Amino acid sequence: MYARGSNMISCCINGVKYAGEIHFVYQNPVTSQMAVLGMFMQSYLHKKRFVFDKNDLTRDEWHRYFDTAKTLTSENDSILFDSNVTLLMGENLQDFWRYEGSLTTPPCTEGIIWTVFK
C-alpha cells in the first residue's frame, strides 16, 4: 500500500497515488478498544512543490486543521485541535475498507479496528 518516493511516502491503491493518509486514533474509555479512521490526501505538483488539491480542501475545517498542524515543528510537540471529525471527512461515508490491523507507530499495538474511507 505504501511506496517510498524520493522525498515522501506516497500511498497507492489500485494504481491511484495519493499524497498521504491522515489517521485519527480513538480509544473507547470503557473497553479500551482502539480504532483508526483513515482518509487519503490528494496533491498535485506545482513549481516542484507538492500542493494539496484545493478541491479536497475547500472545507474551512481542513484549512483550520492544517493551519494548526503547521505549528508542530519538533518531535514531541502537541496541540489541541477542537473539531468534529465528520467535518473533515468526505460526503460518502458508506464507501470504506474495514479490517483488523495494528498501529503504524510503536508500540505497534495489534487488534486495532481500521476503517479507511475510499
pLDDT tens per residue across span 48-60: 555 555 455 446 7
Among 82, 108, 109, 96, smallest CA distance to 38 is for 96
Say if CB 70 and CB 52 are below 8 A apart. no
Of the candidates 22, 7, 30, 33, which has an alpha carbon nearest to the alpha carbon of residue 90?
22
Q: What is the reported pLDDT for 60?
A: 75
Domain 2-117 listed as CATH 3.10.200.10: yes
pLDDT of residue 53: 52
pLDDT of residue 78: 86
**pLDDT confidence of residue 12:** 72
Sheet holding 2-4, edge to edge: 2-4, 9-13, 16-18
pLDDT score, position 1 = 37
Q: How far apart are CA 2 and CA 37, in angstroms?
A: 17
Q: Which residues of the chain have pLDDT under 50?
A: 1-9, 46, 54, 57-58
Residue 31's Cβ-count burial label (10 Å; 0-12, 13-18, 19+) is exposed
Task: Report the alpha-carbon distance of residue 1 to residue 13 in Å, rounded.
Answer: 6
